[in-house]
Amino acid sequence: MMTALFSRAARVAAFIVTGLAVLILAGCNDFEGMAKHLRPLSHSTKSLIAKKGMSETSPILVRLFKEESELEVWKQEKATGRYALLKTYDICKWSGKLGPKQQEGDRQAPEGFYTITPAQLNPNSSYYLSFNMGYPNAYDRSLGRTGSHLMVHGACSSRGCYAMDDDQIQEIYTLARLAFQGGQKSFQVHAFPFRMTPENLAKHRRNENYAFWKMLKEGSDVFELTRQEPKVAVCSKQYVFGTERQAGMSYSPSASCAPKVDDSVRLAVAKKRAEDELREDKIASNLNDRDYAKIAVADLMRDPRQKNEVPPTLLALARGTMPAEAATPSAPQNAPMSTPADAPVMTASIPERSESGKTGAQTQVASETPTGGEPPMATAYAPQQEEDAGLLSRLIKKVW
């Protein structure tokens, strides 16, 4: 009798387990069949949002860092209304070198402050999912910069965009969709060349974009101190940042303006700027011409889209085979490095950084196109000489 009851119970248990397995598989199949732009967040991300005191539909803000190859998603906390870091994602690929996009076809990824509206989300992207960064913005246009269809997208392939892998863009897209669903009218994207620290600014002090990056740092400081979206305006062909706009003031890229800043914020930003500049000066005082040459060569070599042209004098200085005074006889200590237009050049290239942080011999590059068709691919070139490859390996470790 007991044996029969046990056998029957075992059959019932097996039936229940089988039924649950069918339901689970059906659920998975339903999810796989769901349009990708409508898929929900993963259970782990939902749990993380709840743990951090946020809601799935609370506003977001995105920050991009080229040199570190990182994308951050920030979300508003329910209790404080301040933004807190939700998650950091590895950027799969970005193209170009450090510095802003200047013109159509230069394959530079943009740097600056951009605003994303629901209309900029593309559920039918050729690169899984994407959103348009809104380049050129008012600042870019004030300087005559050109370009179009600059995206944050999937497919891990870039020729001017910030490319994520498909799972990453799926989650980032969903977070944006849910924020819009919750009532956010637009969200900001802050795109930086690197984390705006005194160490990084000292390291890149001789770059021609240094003054531009110092301006970006001001917006970064406002956000980091307030954990609120900075009010970004463009006046006199400059970014200006505040906590609110002056009532009745007209904002024009070609005219002067002064967004209102709370005294507490203004003083905090000024204090941080002074402290950071002292630290930057101290770090820069310990860097010499060869240090700056190594940094410049590494940046020129990082872009695999084509044969990058590196002046041989700069390469020799980075190697330590040329005296600093021979390479830059009259350059002041903190002046940007430059090379005469007619100077001879040496070609070299840098292996692309992969998702794991390792380098590879070849990299494909691509970006979103208005027609939705896949653009032609380009491949990286190998270093011309074995010694160049060795130099490259040493330099890139300093940068990445």
Active site residues: 153, 161
Start-to-end Cα distance in the chain? 72
Residue type, 255: A
In three-state secondary structure terms, 11 is: helix
DSSP letters, 210-241, are: HHHHHHHHHHHHHHHHH-S--EEEEETTEEEE
Cα torsion at 196, 198, 202, 206 (round to 10°)?
40
Residue 360, helix vs strand vs coil: strand
What gap in Å lies between CA 385 and CA 27, rounded to an integer? Answer: 55
Residues 6+ apart with CB under 8 A from 387: none
Q: What size, in residues, is the chain? A: 400
Is 289 within 8 Å of 327 (Cβ atoms)?
A: yes
Residue (of 161, 188, 191, 189) closest to 92 by Cα position = 161
213, 201 contact by CB (below 8 A): yes
| Rounded Cα gap, residues 156 and 154, in angstroms | 6
What one-character DSSP code corresponds to residue 24? Answer: H
Residue 178 to residues 174, 187, 303, Cα–Cα distance (Å): 6, 12, 35
Give the single-character DSSP code of 5: H
Written as one letter, the residue type at 258 is A
CA distances from 129 to 24, 36, 357, 373 (A): 27, 8, 24, 14
Which residues partner with 93 through β-bridges?
Answer: 163
